[in-house]
Amino acid sequence: MGVGTILEAKKILLIANGAKKSRIVAEFVEGPVTCQITATALQLHTQATVILDEAAASKLKRKDYYNWVRDNKHMVQKMVGR
């Protein structure tokens, strides 16, 4: 399945676990959209959900912010009118 086909989905769920995934997770979540890391295209999708364990999330620079958004999802959704 290609990136274009994946991006056509109504909703996307990506699950990553383990320390071996931490570098690529940090790059596709926080890096620029690039054809060299195809998962970065998920940044363009409005209904992409990413679930990570602590090891996979270990290299994220903004982990505290992402946890805050997760914990305050109801407030964030209210602010953006969802």
Cβ contacts of 64 within 8 Å, gap of 6 or more: none
Per DSSP, 69 falls in state H
pLDDT in 10s for each residue of the chain, 82 residues? 788 888 999 999 999 999 999 999 999 999 999 989 989 999 999 999 999 999 999 999 999 998 888 888 877 777 777 6
Burial of 12 (0-12, 13-18, 19+ CB in 10 A): middle
Q: Which residues of 49-78 are buried (b: 16+ CB within 10 A; e: fewer)?
A: ebebeeebbbbbeebeeeeeeeeeeeeeee
